[in-house]
């Protein structure tokens, strides 16, 4: 049978049987709408959680927690945190599953911070500030181009005894043991997107403060605040002189520490040597490992265990399993609906072909082959399934728009609340239409085979 004749026959059948096929296709509309809705929801939530909140292709490794004395013990001089040697970094870097390893070094001394009056209208701060240092290459894309992310002490200015002797925004830094102070630029720091989201959605509304965000790095002079080194709510460091330094926010980064500040690793190492009695030369407190593929994280973790390292946070893996499980369960519901739609289409085609057995018998009598009859009926089923799948796709889109509108107007602001909870790529839309056509074909296959293989005389004579 030629394509032109086949198209004409299918078009005629669609027009004259649209009432019966509409009832049969309702299941496909409902099933494809549910399928595209649930899969888009799963992809959207996964993109936010495993892209912004818990990146799945990166993992932070640290020594096993059994030997960690905790912050209070460090302040009181009761022990030292376990360290990672450079040899471990080099061996992990040689793994084919590892794209790059970024060492990190945490504060080993008490610290507090205060500032933000220029931006918020009043100073805010914390009596216990946590922080870490990272390789500048890790956060290069997150740093504002106007501010270099490096230790300012590497390029000090003129000698000084007070901030008044330095040109703004420089200040006079006088490390413990140094014979004189030097005018230096404020220390560059990064804050995490998580911290900004928590501040914007929880802290700022509660205290009547304006939300912050990109304004932190868009300001011409950055946001400068004061850090108090060697002293915090828990006590003072036993080594080094308590002093104040200035810091400047130069960017917002997903690689920054969640609750605290991230600085150049050379700055943190210099301060650790000044205030901590623990070993600092050539050692690190954790490693951020970027895998070549998210599926390689398991191999990286297994190799890290040989060096006594463990994941700092397993939330990415747990969230990934949870999102995949919920998405699979909801998608299973949609597929069950499509199976029921296929059974309904099978019943509808049996009824239609029984009523038209005489017409089919006549076609067979004048020379139509079994393959022609099969192609005719299966083409009809594919067209019907595709049309109703497109209808289901449209219904799913409407449901997504409505759900996003309800979320935007009825749900309160919370950290990392996305503009849309859905992600519907082109391949998902194509797959939805193909699914609808396949289930329609599956339902019509058996009735079409029976119609094609029946004796033409039975169709012409009747039962």
Indicate the pTM of the whole model. Answer: 0.59
Q: Residue 143 corresponds to which tokens in the numbers above?
A: 């740093």
Residue 398 has pLDDT above 60, yes or no: yes
HEC readout, 247-278? EEEEEEECCCCCCCEEEEHHHHHHHHHHHCCC
Alpha-helical segments (H) within 129-246: 193-198, 204-207, 215-218
Taking 80 as the threshold, does the pLDDT of residue 85 lie above it?
yes
- Does 433 score more than 70 pLDDT? yes
C-alpha atoms less than 13 angstroms from C-alpha of 382 in its C-beta half-sphere: 10
User: Quick count: other Cβ atoms within 10 Å of Cβ 339?
Assistant: 15
Mean pLDDT, all residues of the chain: 78
Residue bearing the bigger pLDDT, 61 or 454: 61
- β-pairing, 187-192 with 243-253? parallel
The residue with greater pLDDT, 327 or 171, is 171
Strands (E), 27-137: 58-63, 84-85, 98-106, 111-115, 124-126, 131-134
The predicted-structure confidence for 100-134, as pLDDT tens digits, reads as follows: 888 999 998 899 998 866 656 666 778 888 899 99
Number of CB atoms found within 10 A of residue 349's CB? 28
| 129 contacts: CB under 8 Å, gap ≥ 6 | 107, 111, 112, 113, 227, 232, 260, 261
Domain ranges (residues) in the chain: 3-52+320-461, 57-313
Instruction: Grade residue 74 by pLDDT with cuts at 50, 70 and 90.
Output: very low
Listed ranges 164-178, 187-201, 249-263; the one with the highest mean pLDDT: 164-178
Q: How far apart are CA 251 and CA 287, in angstroms?
A: 21
User: Beta-carbon neighbour count of residue 196 at 10 Å?
Assistant: 18
Compute the average pLDDT of residues 134-162: 88
* pLDDT for the residue numbered 305: 85
pLDDT in tens, 359-383: 666 666 666 677 777 777 778 778 8
Query: How many C-beta atoms lie closer than 10 Å to residue 107's C-beta?
Result: 25
Please list, residue by residue across 212-232, b when 16 or more beta carbons sit within 10 angstroms of its beta carbon and e when fewer do: beeebbebeebbbbbbbbbbb
Place of tokens 């059974």: 343
- Specify the 3-state DSSP secondary structure of 344: helix
Lowest mean pLDDT of 167-171, 272-276, 284-288, 311-315, name the range: 311-315
Residue 209 three-state SS: coil
Q: Which residue has the higher pLDDT, 71 or 90?
A: 90
| Closest-CA residue to 417 (of 252, 264, 197, 228) | 197
Confidence of residue 220 (pLDDT cuts 50, 70, 90): very low
User: pLDDT at residue 219 above 60?
Assistant: no
Higher pLDDT, 56 or 140: 140
């Amino acid at each position: 049978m030629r394509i032109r004749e086949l198209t004409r026959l299918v078009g005629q059948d669609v027009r004259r049987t649209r009432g019966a096929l509409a009832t049969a296709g309702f299941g496909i509309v409902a099933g494809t709408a549910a399928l595209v809705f649930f899969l888009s929801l799963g992809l959207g939530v996964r993109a936010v959680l495993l892209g912004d909140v818990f990146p799945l292709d990166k993992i932070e490794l640290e020594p096993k927690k059994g030997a960690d004395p905790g912050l209070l013990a460090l302040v009181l001089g009761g022990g030292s945190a376990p360290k990672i040697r450079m040899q471990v970094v080099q061996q992990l870097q040689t793994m084919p599953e590892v794209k790059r390893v970024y060492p990190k070094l945490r504060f080993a001394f008490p610290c507090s911070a205060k500032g933000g009056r220029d931006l918020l209208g009043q100073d805010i701060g914390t009596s216990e500030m946590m922080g870490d240092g990272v390789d500048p290459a890790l956060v290069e894309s997150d740093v504002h181009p106007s501010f270099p992310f490096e230790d300012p002490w590497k390029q000090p200015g003129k000698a000084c005894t007070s901030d008044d002797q330095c040109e703004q925004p420089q200040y006079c830094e006088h490390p413990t043991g140094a014979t004189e102070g030097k005018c230096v630029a404020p220390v560059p720091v990064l804050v995490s997107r998580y911290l900004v989201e928590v501040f914007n959605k929880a802290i700022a509304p509660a205290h009547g403060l304006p939300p912050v965000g990109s304004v932190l790095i868009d300001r011409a002079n950055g946001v400068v605040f004061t850090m108090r080194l060697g002293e915090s709510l828990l006590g003072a460091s036993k080594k080094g002189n308590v002093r104040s330094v200035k810091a400047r926010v130069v960017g917002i980064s997903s690689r920054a520490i969640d609750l605290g500040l991230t600085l150049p690793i050379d700055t943190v190492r210099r301060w650790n040597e000044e205030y901590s009695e623990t070993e600092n030369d050539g050692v690190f407190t954790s490693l951020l490992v970027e895998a070549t593929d998210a599926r390689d994280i398991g191999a990286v973790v297994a190799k890290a265990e040989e060096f006594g390292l463990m994941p700092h946070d397993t939330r990415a893996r747990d969230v990934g399993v949870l999102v995949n499980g919920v998405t699979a369960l909801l998608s299973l519901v949609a597929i069950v609906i499509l199976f029921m739609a296929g059974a309904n289409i099978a019943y509808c085609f049996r009824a239609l072909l029984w009523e038209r057995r005489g017409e089919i018998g006549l076609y067979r009598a004048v020379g139509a082959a079994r393959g022609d009859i099969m192609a005719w009926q299966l083409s009809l089923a594919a067209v019907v399934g595709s049309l109703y799948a497109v209808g289901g796709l449209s219904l799913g889109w409407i449901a997504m728009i409505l759900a996003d509108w309800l979320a935007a107007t009825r749900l309160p602001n919370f950290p990392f609340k996305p503009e849309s909870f859905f992600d519907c790529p082109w391949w998902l839309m194509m797959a939805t239409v193909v699914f609808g056509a396949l289930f329609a074909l599956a339902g019509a296959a058996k009735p079409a085979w029976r119609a094609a293989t029946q004796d033409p005389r039975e169709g012409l004579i009747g039962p």
